[in-house]
Amino acid sequence: MANKIVQKDQIKNLLNKVAQSSQLIAPIKSDSITTFRPVSSAEAVVLDYQNGVIPPKDFFFPQSEKMFTYNINDPTWDIREVEGVPERVLFGARPCDVKSILLLDKVFDAEFRDNYYLDKRNKTTIVALSCNDCRHTCFCGAFGISPDTAEGADLLFTDLGDKYLVEVLTEKGEKLVNSAKEFFADDDGSGAGAKAKATEMAKAKQMQISLEGVKEKLDNMWEHPIWDNESLRCIGCGTCTYVCPTCHCFDIVDYNDQSAEGYRYRCWDSCQFSNFTRAAGGHQPRPSKKERIRQRFLHKLRYFVDRYGDFGCVGCGRCLEKCPVNLDIAQIITKVKEVG
């Protein structure tokens, strides 16, 4: 499908129409923080935001997710899986976060396909929004991602001032356009040029980091003072993993509120916590912050590449922005390139 144009003064009407037939998930501002939330009307949606504090990962792999319910007094336990999600549209995801969903696919849509994830994934149309501006912590370019392309999205919107350019990338995207045809006009051919101009600043402003040779170096940096040095100031809070769009570790827990009815849920967990790998009998392969920091960086920059053929980071910059002690993956990459 050829590129389309949506007038800016029509965007909220378009979103309201979308919200009538699907669940709409979009960025809203709450207590000065921009986050993705299901919204029933477009009124609260903000579209001139820099990337949100928490990625939209939550809508595919929730921070806490009920898997099934049971009754411990029932002789058969009466296990029932919880219902899936309705059809939904995720609107306004940034290119790095869209790419992170492709990385999560590699984990959840693999051997032992994870139906809780796939249900949400299959029922979600992803509408990406190019970045016209970016944060000082962004470095998506290092991973071959760009503020104005969105591999993994169904539609890509770019803010051109008074209108949006809409690139239709998949059939799912085309379906969405056809369901609200009246809002989409044909692009007269000037869209691409205007888009390049609109996203110029984001490209220029982000940190320019190259990953050349980093994986190869890390293959031989198991024992290196960098892990001791960097881990000294880490306080093991786990923030870095909780704000990360690609982190996928979870725990599985049963919950009973003093009653017979209970449920089993999974919730995000973090490799930065000491009990993450502590096993029965006291076996602890990662006894100190050194091993845990090393695990996080090697997982993103080495193990994920070996296992899935891509880096496990998209350069969104959230971990370095939110870390209370400024442990910075971008700096680590730079330091790795400098050392031996």
Partner 1 sequence: MSCNCNTREVASPLLPYIATVNKIIEETPTIKTFQVTFDEPGILENFGNKPGQCAMLSILGVGEGMISITSSPTRKGMLEFTIAKVGRLTSVIHELEVGDKMAIRGPYGNHFPFEEMKGKNCLFVAGGVGLAPLRSLIDYVLDNRDDYGRVDIVYGARCYDMLCFKYDLFDRWPKIKDTHVHVTLDREDPKWDGRVGFITLDWLQEICPSVENTVPVTCGPPIMIKLQLENFKKMGFKPEEIITTLEMNMRCGVGKCGRCNIGEKYICVDGPVFNAAQIQKLPPEY
Q: How far is the CB of 70 from ligand FAD (least distance, A)?
A: 18
Count residues contacting ligand SF4 (CB under 6 A)? 25
User: What is the distance between the alpha carbons of residues 91 and 86, in angstroms, rounded to a whole number?
Assistant: 15
Q: Which stretch binds ligand SF4 (CB under 6 A): 167-175, 192-200, 207-215, 314-322?
A: 314-322
CA distances for 261 relative to 136, 253, 267, angstroms: 48, 14, 19
Q: How far is the CB of 206 from partner 1 (least distance, A)?
A: 28
Question: Which residue matches tokens 């056809």?
Answer: 178
Report residue 56 as tokens: 């939209």
User: What is the distance between the alpha carbons of residues 10 and 6, in angstroms, rounded to a whole number?
Assistant: 7
Q: How far is the CB of 287 from ligand FAD (least distance, A)?
A: 12
Site string for ligand SF4, 189-228 (x = CB under 6 A): ----------------------------------------
Phi, then psi, of 17 in degrees rounded to 5: -65, -45
Rule CB under 6 A: choose which of 104, 166, 243, 332 binds ligand SF4.
243
The binding site for partner 1 (CB under 8 A) comprises: 67-68, 70, 72, 75-77, 79, 81, 83-87, 107-108, 110-116, 118-119, 122, 222, 247-254, 256, 262, 264, 266, 269, 271, 276-281, 283, 285-286, 291, 295, 298-299, 302-304, 306-307
Query: Among residues 176 and 323, whose Cβ is nearest to ligand SF4?
Result: 323
Angle in degrees, CA 40, 43, 47, rounded to 5: 110
Report residue 20 as tokens: 């009538």
Residue type, 31: D
User: What is the distance between the alpha carbons of residues 339 and 29, in angstroms, rounded to a whole number?
Assistant: 42
Going by C-beta distance under 8 Å and a sequence separation of 6 or more, which residues neighbour residue 198? 130, 132, 148, 158, 159, 160, 161
Q: How far is the CB of 168 from ligand SF4 (least distance, A)?
A: 27
Using rule CB under 6 A, residue 338 touches ligand FAD: no
Using rule CB under 6 A, residue 285 touches ligand FAD: no
Query: Among residues 183 and 297, whose Cβ is nearest to ligand SF4?
Result: 297
Q: How far is the CB of 280 from ligand FAD (least distance, A)?
A: 3
Q: Which stretch binds ligand FAD (CB under 6 A): 39-47, 120-128, 223-231, 274-282?
A: 274-282
3-state secondary structure at position 289 = helix
User: What is the distance between the alpha carbons of residues 317 and 337, in angstroms, rounded to a whole number?
Assistant: 19
Report residue 300 as tokens: 């993103």
The residue ranges that bind ligand SF4 (CB under 6 A) are 234-240, 243-246, 272, 300, 313-319, 323-325, 327, 329
